[in-house]
């Protein structure tokens, strides 16, 4: 199982294409790979907290998904 996160938490470093709050996620579990992008509002601390919350919530969902269990 692997989990990867990258993004722009701020307060600087954003651009028109990747504004502050843009975060990319990747999860790999039993040969299944899932990635997605989210945009979170708020200051650096809020973006970081939302990133942690989202990454762990999706991990729980993937662990509970029947398609990620070996037959």
- Which tens digit of pLDDT belongs to each residue from 20-68? 999 999 999 988 999 999 999 999 999 999 999 999 999 999 999 877 6
Predicted pLDDT at 68: 60
Q: How confident is the model at residue 70 (pLDDT cuts 50, 70, 90)?
A: low
* Residues 1-12: tens digit of each pLDDT: 999 999 999 988
Reduced to 3 states (helix: H, G, I; strand: E, B; else coil), residue 14 is coil
Q: What is the DSSP letter of 58?
A: H
How many Cβ atoms from other residues are within 10 Å of residue 31's Cβ?
7
Asked whether the predicted pLDDT for residue 71 surpasses 60, the reply is no
Sheet containing strand 22-29, strands side by side: 2-7, 22-29, 32-39
State the pTM of this model.
0.85
Q: Give dist(CA 23, CA 3) in Å, integer.
A: 13
Q: Give dist(CA 33, CA 46) in Å, integer.
A: 27
């Amino acid at each position: 199982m692997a989990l990867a996160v990258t993004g722009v938490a701020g307060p600087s470093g954003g651009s028109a294409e990747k504004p502050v709050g843009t975060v990319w996620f990747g999860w790999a579990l039993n040969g299944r790979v899932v990635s997605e992008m989210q945009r979170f509002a708020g200051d650096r601390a809020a973006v970081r907290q939302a990133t942690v919350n989202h990454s762990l919530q999706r991990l729980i969902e993937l662990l509970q998904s029947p398609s990620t269990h070996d037959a």
